[in-house]
Amino acid sequence: MNFDALLVDVVNNARDNAVWLITWTVGAFVLVSITWWRLPKIATRVLRWIDDLLPGDFADLHTPIGRWISVVVSLVVVLIAGGAAISALVGDLGPTRDFLASSAVAVGRWLLAAVPKIAIVVIGGLFVQRLAAHLIPRAVERHLRARASDQLESEVEKDIATLSTVLTTATTITVLTATFFMVMAQVGIDLAPLLVGFGVVGIAVGFGAQNLVRDIFAGIFVILENQYRVNDVVNIAGIGGLVEDINLRRTVLRDLDYRQHFIPNGEIRTATNYTKDKSRVNMNVGVAYKEDLDEVIEVLNRVGLELAQDPEWGPLVLDPIQVLRVDDFADSAIEIKVLGETVPIRQWDIAGQYRLRVKKAFDELGIEIPFPHQTLYWGEGQPNIMEMRQARSSEEGNDGGLNGTTGGPGGATAASNPDPEGPDSE
């Protein structure tokens, strides 16, 4: 059959089966429209109802799942309608009807046999995950509060938030992985080749992703040893900042310029935590050599006590800032070291307020906070260059006045009349 004859047959079949084609087209359009616009809302309501029966909150998953269901159903409807349309154009609708009937029976049997099991597995996995997300933070909080009775509330909250997040994430990944394999088994997929394939891929990935494995193990020890927590100020891998997030692979820092730093845990060799349990003000105050140190020390201690008793700043001070010692004879000042303890992460605020009050107190009492001075010393027994230049300039000026007898009106007169009394003096 040539192309022209095939085209004539298609046109004739389309004319003979016009009602059939229009019915299938309109029906497919209506079903796709209902599926695309209404099915996500229906699925979201069903998922919300299931979500209310389980502990925890997964509202962010309702819309994506409903949208995926609508996409799959719409695709099935379009394929069925397209197959029916092709059959109508070819002219033989019998095989299409038989295929649809047999497929409907097979799908119905599979749905009756497998869907309840899959639903039980999925709902069971979601229940276990939601139950773990509900119980893990409470168990962690109870354990940490019982262990850290003398810790500050803010520190306990940091420990709870960090450990709960890591354990919940690990539990979620484990439960979802197990649920996926169980669903594959119910669908009828043989898991043995899949597991073997995963094993081979795992070996290859293990050789190629050694850094990833190192990062995960390092993250485990960071969490277990409680080296730092979310909202701690740390210095790790040569970068300092506020810890915004921690997981088993990386740590996220935010510095004072508000730049985010993503640091793999395997790159961390030394971790310096500035805000673990409590913080300290450690600073030097410089005064002039002429000042009375006893008076200066009394002023510094008084300002520290006043700051600790202040209604606004006092709750942040654990131990008032006091003088520790005369620390150094510097080039232009005597350095006095002061120390004090504060609640975590507030040492910089307290230090700034202490400097402000010390400056005001020193100004009131006339105590000098010196700044560096420089004095030029020519050295003993060395000639004074400026005086030598001035003397040389004076000598040159005197020589010019004595030798210049021929220049100027006075010089000319002296040369023409050397006798001061004149020719008529006789």
Residues 239 and 313 in one domain: no
d(CA 269, CA 263): 12
- Pairing mode of beta strands 233-236, 271-273: antiparallel
Per-residue pLDDT, 133: 81
Average pLDDT, integer, range 364-382: 73
Q: Are 140 and 160 in contact (CB under 8 A)?
A: yes
Structurally, the chain folds into a number of domains equal to 3
Residues 169 and 199 in one domain: yes
d(CA 256, CA 248): 25
Residues 16 and 135 in one domain: yes
Residues 18 and 136 in one domain: yes
Residues 163 and 230 in one domain: yes
Residue 419 in any domain: the answer is no
Residues 293 and 335 in one domain: yes
| Separation in Å, CA 35 to CA 66, 107, 422 | 10, 19, 138
Residues 133 and 175 in one domain: no
Residues 298 and 268 in one domain: no
Residues 294 and 238 in one domain: no
Per-residue pLDDT, 3: 45
Containing structural domain, residue 51: 3-140
Per-residue pLDDT, 170: 79
| 418 or 263, which is more confident | 263
CATH number where 336 lies: 3.30.70.100
Q: Are 345 and 279 in contact (CB under 8 A)?
A: yes
Q: How many CB atoms lie within 10 A of CB 183?
A: 17
Mean pLDDT (the chain, rounded): 74
* Statement: residue 333 has pLDDT above 80: yes
Q: Is 38 helix (H, G, I), strand (E, B) or coil?
A: coil
Residue 414 in any domain: the answer is no
pLDDT in tens, 181-208: 788 777 777 667 666 666 666 665 666 5
- Counting every residue, how long is the chain? 426
pLDDT in tens, 64-111: 666 667 777 767 766 666 666 655 555 555 555 566 566 666 666 766
Burial 140-157 (b: 16+ CB within 10 A, else e): bbeebeeeeeebeeebbb
Residue 406 in any domain: the answer is no
Average pLDDT, integer, range 229-243: 89
d(CA 100, CA 96): 6
Per-residue pLDDT, 77: 67
Residue 408 in any domain: the answer is no
Residue 401 in any domain: the answer is no
Residues 255 and 211 in one domain: yes
Residues 134 and 18 in one domain: yes
CATH number where 216 lies: 2.30.30.60
